[in-house]
């Protein structure tokens, strides 16, 4: 029997959530065959919903990252000053990951390992986050920040400066040394110093020169 689009989406979400629960319970990644056995569906029905493990992992990533996607979209809609908007853009996602890590470090570590092993399946979420950050950057540039820098260059510089707060794996190594207060200082520094312009109005001038 053919499955409707709505039913398929509902089953994908249900089974992805079930797999996450199994990973937490067993402390190990769940295979396609194990997900099929635990789903309560026939093989034919299951294969209508998930073509293969990659497709199953896509659904798992969608469920796991849904809160991150939601807060990014909400921050973009908010009428906040550029520096506050960028801070919230990073802070709220960091808070989600930090709270998950504190709640169950072993489970969080397993999810990080799954993400690393299947990075190509989550790349689209990384690209989407970069797209949203570019929107924040454009709004900041309209208010006079990041003078003389192209959007792509600004994106790359900011990502490198805040990477410890966006890469979940950083929590495994730095833990409680990552704080919202430190993130706020980093974002303040970004807005104070990130500029390619010279002159009195530009406090962020690159004074270091690469040795040749």
pLDDT of residue 148: 93
Q: What is the mean pLDDT of residues 87-95?
A: 98
Distance CA 208, CA 212 (A): 12
Of 132 and 1, the structure prediction assigns the larger pLDDT to 132
Question: 53-77 and 82-103 helices cross at what angle (nearest 10)?
Answer: 140
pLDDT band at residue 201 under the 50/70/90 scheme: very low
Per-residue pLDDT tens digits for 9-66: 999 999 999 999 999 999 999 999 999 999 999 999 999 999 999 999 999 999 999 9
Q: Is the pLDDT of residue 94 over 50?
A: yes
pLDDT at 209: 52
User: How high is the pLDDT of residue 3?
Assistant: 85
Q: What is the pLDDT of residue 196?
A: 79
Task: Give CB contacts under 8 A, 24+ apart, made by 82-86.
Answer: 82/136, 82/139, 82/140, 82/143, 82/145, 82/191, 83/140, 83/145, 83/187, 83/188, 83/191, 85/136, 85/139, 85/140, 86/133, 86/136, 86/140, 86/158, 86/187, 86/190, 86/191
Instruction: Say yes or no to pLDDT of 198 above 70.
Output: no
* Residue ranges covered by each domain of the chain: 1-51, 65-193
Q: Which fold has domain 65-193?
A: Tetracycline Repressor; domain 2 (1.10.357)
Lowest mean pLDDT among 20-24, 86-90, 138-142, 202-206: 202-206
Overall average pLDDT of the 146-153 stretch = 95
Residues 100-149: tens digit of each pLDDT: 999 999 999 999 999 999 999 999 999 999 999 999 999 999 999 999 99
Answer yes or no: is pLDDT of 199 > 50. no
In this prediction, residue 211 carries a pLDDT of 55
Q: Which pLDDT score, from 0 to 100, does residue 189 have?
A: 95
pTM, full prediction: 0.90
């Amino acid at each position: 029997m053919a499955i409707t689009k709505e039913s398929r989406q509902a089953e994908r979400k249900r089974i992805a959530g079930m797999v996450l629960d199994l990973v937490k319970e067993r402390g190990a990644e769940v295979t396609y065959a194990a997900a099929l056995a635990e789903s309560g569906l026939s093989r034919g029905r299951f294969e209508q919903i998930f073509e293969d493990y990659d497709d199953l992992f896509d659904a798992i990533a969608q469920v796991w990252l849904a809160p991150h996607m939601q807060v990014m979209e909400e921050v973009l809609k908010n009428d906040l000053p550029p520096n506050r908007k960028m801070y919230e853009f990073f802070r709220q996602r960091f808070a989600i990951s930090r709270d998950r890590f504190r709640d169950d470090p072993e489970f969080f570590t397993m999810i990080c390992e799954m993400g690393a092993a299947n990075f190509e399946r989550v790349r689209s979420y990384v690209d989407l986050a970069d797209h949203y950050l570019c929107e924040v950057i454009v709004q900041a540039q309209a208010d006079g920040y990041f003078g003389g820098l192209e959007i792509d260059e600004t994106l790359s510089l900011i990502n490198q400066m805040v990477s410890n707060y966006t890469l979940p794996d950083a929590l495994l190594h730095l833990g409680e040394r990552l704080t919202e207060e430190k993130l706020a200082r980093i974002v303040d520094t970004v807005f104070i110093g990130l500029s390619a312009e010279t002159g009195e109005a530009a406090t962020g001038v690159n004074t270091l020169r690469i040795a040749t």
